[in-house]
Amino acid sequence: MINNNSTDKPYILLTPGPLTTSSGVRSAMLKDWCTWDNEYNSLVQDMRKRVLNVAEAGDEYTMIPMQGSGTFSVEAVLTSVIGENENVLILSNGAYGDRMKTICNTAKISNSIYKIDQTETYNLDYLEELLKKNESITHLAVVHCETTSGILNPIKEIGLIAKKYNKIFIVDAMSSFGGIHFSIPEYQIDFLISSSNKCIQGVPGFGFIIAKKSELLKCEGKARSHSLDIFDQWKVMENGNGKWRFTSPTHVVRAFYQALLELEAEGGVKVRESRYKENQNTLVKGMDALGFKAIIPLEKQSPIITTFYAPKHPEYNFETFYSKLKEHGFVIYPGKLTKEESFRIGNIGEVYFEDIKTLISSVEKSMFWK
């Protein structure tokens, strides 16, 4: 039997996704939809256009939704875009760059990796030398916001180098798209990947790819997976006016559509980014006053999630700290760094300045080791 007293207690998710959603997004899931219905398929088509507007992408780009978590869409791109005689250079400063390498190794995709410390960003001169010396590299893949640490990687500068050497540029923007303003054409991105439950502020259930059509057309017949073939998914959707190849997560799609409308009503990505930055700045200042130090310096820090050093106290343990904060109505994330004990606090979702101020007060009350 489910204990309703514990499961029904509301709390704010301070994580990089799933995240706290609006009542409008949750309410949008109360209606059932038929995947073959014209009304639903028209909604899918309008959703795709609105995502392209968020990306500031023109007619040379298209949007392809893909069932599953964001990692499904990352795997879909890597296994659909990189052919048998091609080679991808993966940039990694965290778990999600490493995950791209794992995907490639599993699918037997030829790859190499430029791996650095989780708290550092890439040496662009060294990257250029790598591309200059290794002509076999055909694709370059990088994570924009690496939520292992909260670091923000310089994808604009990386894209310029990729295109200088005629490489296909793949960006995992899972935790940044919709929350950090940038233009896909300006950044020269060929394939961008994100998810329904991140900065657009929908719920989990599907990821999506924004693809440059001229590069997508080259992917026909390349896929190493039937269900994750982004070219076939796109072709069926184009020919079927929004029809997915296989059963789509209808309720999640409708919630995501509502989230897009709410993003527009808020004022767009620039306004949302300002809110996230205010959240993050308030968080860091408040935590610093309590003795918690952020690991990533401000100039490299994203407004998405912040990693803090764990207290150097023999009585501290994350599980107890987590539980006490949850009693106050907040859920945070464990650390993912390999060299330092840490914990993470997200700044995104339906979360505002007042929530962060209340969190700081709750953290102070939850410091049981003091």
Domain boundaries along the sequence of the chain:
4-18+267-365, 29-265
Q: What is the pLDDT of residues 228-275, one digit of tens each?
A: 999 999 999 999 999 999 999 999 999 999 999 999 999 999 999 999
DSSP assigned state of 29: G
Q: Give CA–CA dist 326/222, Å, rounded.
A: 47
Two domains, one topology: 4-18+267-365 and 29-265: no
Q: What is the pLDDT of residue 244?
A: 96
For 238-250, how does the pLDDT look when each residue is reduced to its tens digit (9 = 90+)? 999 999 999 999 9
**Is the distance from CB of 77 to CB of 191 less than 8 angstroms?**
yes
Q: Over 70: is that where the pLDDT of 7 sits?
A: no
Query: Tens of pLDDT along 302-358?
Result: 999 999 999 999 999 999 999 999 999 999 999 988 788 999 999 999 999 999 999
Residue 3: band (very low, low, confident or very high) from pLDDT cuts 50, 70, 90 = very low
CATH code matching the domain that covers 29-265, chosen among 3.40.50.720, 3.40.640.10, 2.60.40.1230, 3.30.43.10: 3.40.640.10
What is the share, in percent, of the chain residues with pLDDT greater than 70? 98
In this prediction the pTM is: 0.95
- Residues 250 and 35 sit within 8 Å (Cβ to Cβ): yes
pLDDT digits (tens, 9 = 90+) for 63-88: 999 999 999 999 999 999 999 999 99
User: In which element (H, E) is residue 40 found?
Assistant: helix 38-54
Please tell me the distance from the alpha carbon of residue 230 to that of residue 211, in angstroms, as a whole number: 10
- The CATH code belonging to domain 4-18+267-365 is 3.90.1150.10
What is the overall mean pLDDT for the chain?
Answer: 95
In the structure encoding, which two tokens stand for residue 153, read together?
Answer: 């990687």
CA torsion, points 169, 174, 180, 184, in degrees to nearest 10?
30
Q: Is the pLDDT of residue 33 over 90?
A: yes
- 303, 337 Cβ separation under 8 angstroms: no
pLDDT tops 70 at residue 5: no
Compute the distance between CA of residue 237 and CA of residue 69 in angstroms, rounded to an integer.
19
